[in-house]
Structure 1
């Protein structure tokens, strides 16, 4: 074979080899299932399976998952699950590349279960087997023993000293104490905590003649706790008056009924006192409940929001001036006859049990309704400037004086109030008012309403009258103070020339004035300003 032929043959082989090499196919990417099979299990390194005495706060660690083919198909993120049930359900996500997770606050001497889950792009690739571990049993302080007062002690101070034995910690750690005290046989109210001493005086005064239960819980720096047993004691009949002004006031009256600054509320001077209290500028009314025979009480310029007089069952008179009351309990004051509430924040007033009330004076309050249906003996009612939208006095047949001015009343039924002699209903929104049954009226003020007609023809004893008829509003005020737009007024001979009638005729010249005598109309159109101010019947 010559050299030329050989070169041709070798060139052909090269072409064939190149052709085959150019047709080689790319290796396909592994599927998800194939990648899962290439993933190694994440393995917990701490705690190990079935480990015991694991601290209640520690860090989980584990070996990262890898690719068994040695290639890098992507990084793994992890989830850790742990809890007291198997399989564990509480899941926590761990960022990519992190192989540890810290926990704290596990319970002592409890068995927990845990596992690690490896994920790629949010898809679970491998789950470790479930491991278990048990937390440390803990070395607890010794139980303190309650030493004072003796169990079931009586006649204890209302601010008693409590004492107990020292607790020790087996590991030599510092022990502190939490003190629990209340009226429950298993007290849950913590009154002091983290105390390093074994004797304290409680920080507040307790109620007198009351049974209390208490216990002490010793705890070390790891949070291991041991409780004492529970004891009880009963306080003596002493009381602390928290408001200094009120306490000084009472002590000045009843020096013999005090033990230091605490009131001996069963002292005869206290329980038998039946006179009057006049108290000013106090912030707390606690202590008033011990004066069960008190008959008259005045609180003025006081700053408490609640007043409970349910223990003051002999109370006849109650006066509260300029206060911040939002709650008032007089449900047990069945003897109450006189009630005054001036300037409070009360939004309601319950008088259903106060059937002996004769006088009510409530001013500058915030209630919109006043129920007087259970107060049949009521003689005098003053309820002005109290935001009332309705007032029912139909059950108050003995009512003689009524001042309901400066409210939001649109109607007022006085048909059952035959004894009424003084009526002030000015500054409301009344459009009509029937006075036909109120023949004893001697004083009548209905100024600044929306009345188009007034009939006072049967009020023959009327001596004082205020109607303020006209157009417009009181002193430039708007709604709520309109002058009565009268078109007709019926009068009797006694008041036909009253200055208010004359003024009304001047302001409303088209207003008709009818005059009656003994129930019979004697003039259909009367002008009190005619004939030089003497008055004249224009139309008989």
Structure 2
């Protein structure tokens, strides 16, 4: 609740009965604090004399020293200072026209907001000719960045099964989750984006995906899909069409122009049958005639 915090630590002493222990306090915005604030403390508590920066993450540690110059470092702890807002009120007497003294407010934290809304960028309804796919999404940042809050990481979810509920993507099991993706951004086709490349995706699968942004205050935002659902179809190995299933039964027909029917499909996503060749014969295909459609 103050920009001059009080630090307290355990005073374990020294195993040597004739040794005394003194403490050095280090406080810094670096995760490995190297800035010594005060040396040779004999007590296990200290209150800073100068204000720290507002709304900033600080790291601190203690170095214990005995009279023989042996040292022992503590673990590194961290904390975040609050953001202080001040306002004043003056009142005026209606008759005398005199103003009162200013009454100052107490300090307070700002409201922590989730990351900005962001959209998946690509791929979208895309046929990927390979088992490795790079996924891109917008990096819109966090509205609390002026106060030190920012996007710390992303979580990527993908599945081979999905459904649309009220314009959102609800992933069904099984879902593969990749945590703590770097929040670093770069320019891609005039957009500020983040990305991840995933290898070994299943052949002929349709992969649905969403992204979750996490900021340093641990608030989150799920991506919005511009085209409702985002997915990519994997087609690493082009395959032949499936074997045709004949639907016309054998037997005698009463016309010289019989109708032949069959079913056929292609296993590759996004691929389709462009033509057929009908082969017919009078002698079990020792000799035959082809006709294309």
Q: Which has the higher strand share?
A: 2
Asked which structure has the greater CA Rg, the reply is 1
Q: TM-score, normalised by structure 1?
A: 0.21
Q: Which has the higher helix share?
A: 1
Q: TM-score, normalised by structure 2?
A: 0.33
Higher RCO structure, 1 or 2 (CA under 8 Å, sep 6+): 2
